[in-house]
């Protein structure tokens, strides 16, 4: 497969070759025209001068002078651009041939044969007949000889053609070097992309001189930075998720051992004591029964709290809104210095199970973060179902919008790395093809907006 540099150089070479051929054709065309015009004009002017000279002599009626003029013309025979031939009936050496153009003048120009063939004009000849009384029948034949003119034109054209050749060669060399230097960073960019493909997100491209390549380098480095940050966040989330999972298992194991295990042991001990009582005292049996009931109630409460922590039963039985209201009411009761206001709009019945549990966990984590970090006095949580434009052209789908806003201390979203809670909330939203955006400034609280499409 041909490289970009080779194809560009080939295209430019062909372009310059076309320029060279076009320039050569133009130069040769002008040279041919110049030779034709110059030689033709000289021959025609000479014929006119001969006509004028013979006419003036003829008007004087002096045959001797006409003969003298003809002899002088015959003595010229060949001059620059011209070949003059004189044919007379009384001169055996100048007897008229079968046809005047039988003998073509050879071209002796000092130029390459290919150039001569390209610029030489068609044979040109002019005749003047002298048929006066007292003078033998005479014909003057003037033939154009382009040899000297072709030599001059070749001298001029050779310089132009040579300059054109030098220009084409130097231009191609300059373009080749320029393209080589200009496209050299592409190899670096390709290596960078290969590094990204291998997962080396710490790789960075240098700054390039060309503005277009500099922008590519800037965008590439930004992309690598985002990918590296996402990779680090995913690794952090995975580690924290595993840690939370193990911690939750440990807590469950402790509760099962400490609460349920001890309660079952207590029930068993009470039952054994009842069985071993010889007199079967009713009062003692009643007391033991109350103990069993109390322990059983405690076991039920522990089991219910464990189930609520794993997944609130009301989410399946009563729906998302009622579950959120219960959780927020319980939260307000436990945190009397902070008040959370909750409102909703729209039909939440079309939300599926994944969206319900994700929104519940996002609100739960948001309230936990507010207690830990926000130092807020009031919290506003709103939820609504509305239409929003999707990525598909001219199409709209329902979206659920969740907003959590507090009046706490806030933070700089650009300079502070989000904690595990915010990262987990964003992961839950993105897992449902949604988005989570944060708006916050130091001293101005935090606003979290979650947008999730409803399939």
Contacts of residue 243, Cβ cutoff 8 Å, sequence gap at least 6: none
Closest Cα to residue 315, out of 344, 351, 345? 351
Residues of the chain with confidence (pLDDT) below 50: 93, 98-102, 390-396
List the alpha helices (DSSP H) in 262-352: 262-276, 282-310, 314-317, 320-334
Q: What is the pLDDT of residues 34-54, one digit of tens each?
A: 888 887 887 777 777 777 766
Tell me how far apart the alpha carbons of residues 169 and 173 are, in angstroms, rounded to a whole number.
6
Return the half-sphere exposure (C-beta side, CA atoms, 13 A cut-off) of residue 319: 7
User: Is the separation of the CB atoms in 377 and 338 below 8 Å?
Assistant: yes
CATH architecture of 319-453: 2-Layer Sandwich (3.30)
Model pTM score: 0.47
Angle subtended by helix axes 147-197 and 4-60, to nearest 10: 170
Whole-number CA gyration radius for the chain: 54
Q: From the CB of residue 309, how many other CB atoms can be counted at a distance below 10 Å?
A: 12
Tell me how far apart the alpha carbons of residues 396 and 389 are, in angstroms, rounded to a whole number.
5
Domain residue spans in the chain?
Answer: 4-170, 209-310, 319-453
Tell me how far apart the alpha carbons of residues 408 and 377 are, in angstroms, rounded to a whole number.
7
User: Is the separation of the CB atoms in 191 and 203 below 8 Å?
Assistant: no
Residue 422 burial by CB count (10 A; 0-12/13-18/19+): exposed, middle or buried? buried
């Amino acid at each position: 497969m041909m490289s970009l540099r080779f194809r560009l150089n080939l295209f430019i070479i062909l372009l310059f070759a076309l320029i060279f051929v076009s320039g050569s054709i133009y130069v040769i065309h002008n040279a041919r025209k110049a030779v034709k015009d110059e030689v033709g004009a000289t021959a025609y002017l000479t014929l006119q001068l001969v006509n004028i000279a013979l006419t003036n002599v003829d008007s004087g009626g002096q045959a001797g002078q006409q003969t003298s003029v003809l002899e002088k013309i015959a003595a010229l025979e060949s001059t620059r651009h011209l070949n003059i031939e004189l044919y007379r009936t009384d001169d055996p050496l100048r007897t008229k041939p079968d046809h005047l153009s039988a003998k073509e003048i050879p071209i002796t120009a000092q130029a390459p044969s290919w150039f001569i063939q390209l610029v030489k004009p068609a044979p040109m000849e002019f005749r003047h007949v002298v048929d006066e009384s007292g003078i033998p029948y005479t014909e003057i034949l003037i033939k154009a000889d382009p040899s000297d003119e072709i030599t001059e034109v070749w001298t001029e054209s050779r310089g132009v053609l040579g300059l054109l050749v030098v220009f084409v060669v130097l231009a191609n060399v300059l373009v080749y070097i320029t393209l080589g230097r200009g496209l050299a960073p592409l190899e670096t960019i390709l290596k960078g992309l290969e590094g990204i493909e291998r997962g080396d997100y710490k790789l960075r491209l240098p700054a390039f001189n060309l503005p277009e390549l500099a922008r590519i380098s800037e965008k590439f480095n930004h992309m690598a930075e985002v990918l590296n940050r996402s990779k680090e966040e995913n690794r952090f989330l995975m580690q924290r998720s595993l840690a939370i999972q193990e911690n939750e298992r440990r807590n469950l194991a402790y509760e099962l051992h400490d609460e349920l295990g001890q309660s079952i042991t207590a029930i068993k001990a009470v039952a054994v004591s009842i069985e071993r009582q010889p007199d079967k005292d009713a009062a003692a049996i009643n007391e033991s029964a109350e103990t069993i009931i109390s322990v059983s109630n405690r076991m039920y409460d522990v089991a219910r709290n464990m189930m609520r922590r794993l997944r609130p039963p009301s989410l399946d039985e009563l729906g998302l809104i009622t579950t959120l209201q219960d959780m927020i009411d319980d939260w307000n009761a436990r945190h009397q210095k902070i008040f959370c206001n909750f409102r909703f709009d729209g039909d939440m019945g079309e939300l599926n199970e994944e969206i319900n549990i994700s929104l519940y966990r996002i609100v739960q984590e948001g309230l936990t973060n507010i207690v830990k970090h926000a130092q807020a006095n009031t919290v506003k949580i709103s939820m609504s179902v509305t239409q929003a434009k999707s990525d598909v052209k001219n199409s709209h789908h329902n979206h659920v919008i969740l907003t959590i806003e507090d009046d706490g201390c806030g933070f700089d979203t650009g300079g502070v790395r989000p904690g595990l809670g915010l990262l987990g909330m964003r992961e839950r939203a993105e897992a449902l093809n949604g988005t989570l955006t944060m708006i916050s400034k130091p001293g101005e609280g935090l606003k979290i907006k979650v947008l999730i499409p409803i399939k």
